Amino acid sequence: MKHLLSLHYTRLSARNLLHLFAHLSRWLAARKLDASALTSRQVSAFLRSRRRAGYTAKCSPRALEIVLEHLRGVGVIAPEVQIGPRSALERVLARYAEYLSQERALASSTIRQRLDTAARFFTKSSTRATIRALCVADVREFLRAMGRTRPKSLGGIGTNLRSLLRFLFAEGLVPRDLSAAVPSAPSWRDRTLPRGLASSDVQRMLASCDRRTLVGRRDYAILLLLARLGLRQCEVCGLTLDDFDWGRGVLTVRGKGKKIAELPIPRDVGCAISAYLLRRPRVVLRGVFLRVRAPYRPLRVIGRPIFTASQRAGIAPVWPHRLRHTAATEMLRRGASLAEIGYVLRHASTQTTVIYAKVDRHALRALVQPWPGAQS
């Protein structure tokens, strides 16, 4: 109980976890097993038996995490053994993951997507011999199959597949570069306008946060970081207490591709962050935005708080990246140049920022020509 209370669990939550611990002990005793015999397979079997017994709470592996962490900490059970890749396919995927992380410096979410595509592509190619025998027909067959099951994701799948095929050629696993066999998917990038929110909608979302509560202060600060500085979801989740230089008024942002940039902290953003930090749980974790209930862990995604705020505000569903567009269009409306917007949003290429030129109606008005034969 003392250990759980030291982790900031409430007494009710601590008692519930003790009941779970007791149930696990009875389950092990009934099978004449010691706690040291706990493995991933045994944990899965226990959770299945718990669900069969009619329990509806704490029936997932996540519920047992704190219990298993404690048992590992006191040396009752061994740490999880990390088994290295054994098959040829596993070795290729492990090398590909290392290449994407170390040489390409891609974000972890991008690496997961590319490895998922690679695993799907290699379903029937599990040896070096079959990988070396890959041909254009195999590439086209895979894309046709993906087009039938995941047509809306075909563009991203094609990008991931090109990356894999270039890697296989560079590593000498295939005799020629097959990436050219992947056709380009139709793109609507330059045919649509960035969808930013109106200032009134942003204010309604901010006003919907109850800043008398911890979760309200946290979500208010997250909303301001997205709408004022245009941070990405992964950048907000990755913020640590060390990233704020309050003396200089500067925020260090670790963006895509492991790039680091410094941005000024606007007054309203700084006040919101400070108000949240005053109520933030007193734990040793350095991540800024944490769960509001023990065990406290940094947030991995922030889509749900943003979506919930849009529901409270009575507007159409909003997700984090749309607030990034909102920050850009608001800067443009206030007279910022595309170069300045690109700096704040940390775009690697000016071509990415150019899409916001289409929403600069004041500048475009001077280019408008009357339609021939139209009546004014």
For 35-77, how does the pLDDT look when each residue is reduced to its tens digit (9 = 90+)? 777 777 788 888 888 888 888 888 887 778 888 887 777 777 7
For residues 353 and 225, membership in a common domain is answered with: yes
- Give me the catalytic one of 256, 279, 293, 333: 256
> Which residues neighbour 160 within 8 Å (Cβ) at sequence distance 6 or greater?
113, 114, 116, 117, 118
Q: How confident is the model at residue 33 (pLDDT cuts 50, 70, 90)?
A: confident
* Domain identity same for 264 and 352: yes
Last residue of a domain, one of 114, 148, 183: 183
pLDDT confidence of residue 238:
92
183, 207, 242 - which closes a domain = 183
Instruction: Give yes or no: 356 in active site.
Output: yes
Active-site choice (232, 280, 322, 346): 232
Selected catalytic residue, list 99, 321, 333, 343? 321
Q: With respect to residue 239, please indicate whether it lies within any of the assigned structural domains.
A: yes
Domain boundary among 156, 183, 210: 183
From CA 50, how far away is CA 113, in angstroms rounded? Answer: 34
Residue of 211, 218, 324, 346 with catalytic role? 324
In a domain, 357, yes or no: yes
Q: Is 191 an annotated catalytic residue?
A: no
Asked if residue 282 belongs to a domain, the reply is yes
297 in a domain, yes or no? yes
Please, what is the average pLDDT of the chain? 85
Q: What is the pTM of this model?
A: 0.68
Residue 81 belongs to some domain of the structure: no
User: Structural domain of residue 138, as residue ranges?
Assistant: 88-183
Residue 257 lies in a domain: yes
> Catalytic site residue 347?
yes
Q: How far apart are CA 305 and CA 128, in angstroms?
A: 46
Query: Domain check: are 20 and 122 in the same one?
Result: no
Same domain, 170 and 222: no
Q: 232 an active-site residue?
A: yes
Do 353 and 347 form a contact (C-beta atoms < 8 A)? yes
The yes-or-no verdict on residue 329 having pLDDT over 60 is: yes
| Span 102-133, pLDDT tens digits | 888 787 778 889 999 998 898 754 555 678 88
Shared-domain flag, residues 145 and 271: no
Residue 260 lies in a domain: yes
Q: C-alpha angle with apex 60: 57 to 61, nearest 5 degrees?
A: 140
Residue 371 belongs to a domain: no
Interval 4-23: pLDDT, tens: 777 777 788 888 888 888 89
Which residues 6+ apart lie within 8 Å of 134 measured at CB?
Answer: 125, 168, 174, 178
The radius of gyration computed from the CA coordinates of the chain, to the nearest angstrom, equals: 26
Q: What pLDDT digit, counting tens, does each position of 76-95 carry? A: 776 664 445 557 778 888 89
The tally of domains found in the chain comes to 3
Same domain, 93 and 176: yes
State whether 102 and 245 are in the same domain.
Answer: no
